[in-house]
Structure 1
Amino acid sequence: MQDSNDIALPKFDGERFFSALDATRSARGITWKKVAEQAGVPASTLTRMSQGRKPDVDTLSALCAWSGLKADAFISSQPRQKPETLSEVTALFRADPNLSKEGAIALEAIIKAAYEQIRKIRG
């Protein structure tokens, strides 16, 4: 039983995700074995997903990259929280192919320090 003060935890809809994967597979005219090869995931994992098991984070990432699906489209929670600005900036720096890992970390440190200082002044 959920207390009225409890926050609803986000849930990943694995069934809906698998259905969307199946639609992608079908549209591309390939077998599940081929999906596994192209996405770089074990075929047995796809079989387990077809039986209602949820993928682990690495499998989810590989299947999203293969299919073009966005994982957050299959996560339900109401209301959805707006991401923190610093977490979005950090993710952008880490994804930037023009930055080395060390460069991204250095920029994060600079931005975080400036952000915290300005936020303190304002708040």
Structure 2
Amino acid sequence: MARTRVNVAALYAALDAARTTRGLSWRQLAGQVGVSPSTMSRLANGHRPDVDAFAALVQWLSLPAESFMVDESGDGADVHSAEEPELLAQLAPLLRSRRDLGEDDVRYLEEVIGAAMRRFISERKAAME
């Protein structure tokens, strides 16, 4: 039977990125989300949030909860399909839906992310040889 859990590190990283982008302290973020500051401290220390806090956090992030779920029944694989879709294919709709990014901004980000992904893939292949 699959054992699905919250990927606390991924959740914390997403919160930290959004917090930094919005210029918030952890205490301010907790206030906006409606959770206690100690919830943020527990996340920083790798502890899973309770279900209500998790729901509030993913809602604040405007991301689906399953983005932070992992199957720990063996290989720790993502609960999504075993084969990950291409990162840029996942990011393109998000980038294009952003009102704070112009078309040139989106193209630039796609180029930068695409170049980084090609480098990562190339380095992985070289390491396997």
Q: 1:28 to 1:79 in 2, by over 3 A?
A: closer
Q: Match for residue 113 of structure 2?
A: none
TM-score, L = length of structure 1:
0.55
SS at structure 1 position matched to 2:14? helix
State percent identity of aligned pairs: 36
Aligned with 2:4 (options 10, 15, 27): 10
1:25 matched to 2:19 = yes
Q: Match for residue 61 of structure 2?
A: 67
1:76 Cα deviation after fit: 1.9
Distance 2:78 2:8 in 1: 20
Q: 1:79 to 1:56 in 2, by over 3 A?
A: closer
Q: 1:42 to 1:80 in 2, by over 3 A?
A: closer
Bigger Rg, structure 1 or 2? 1
* Alignment: residue pair count: 75
CA RMSD, Structure 1 to Structure 2 (Å): 1.9
1:54 matched to 2:48 = yes
TM-score, L = length of structure 2:
0.53
Q: Specify the code of the residue in structure 2 equivalent to 1:67.
A: L
Q: Is the 8 A contact 2:69 2:78 kept in 1?
A: no
Distance 1:62 1:50 in 2: 17
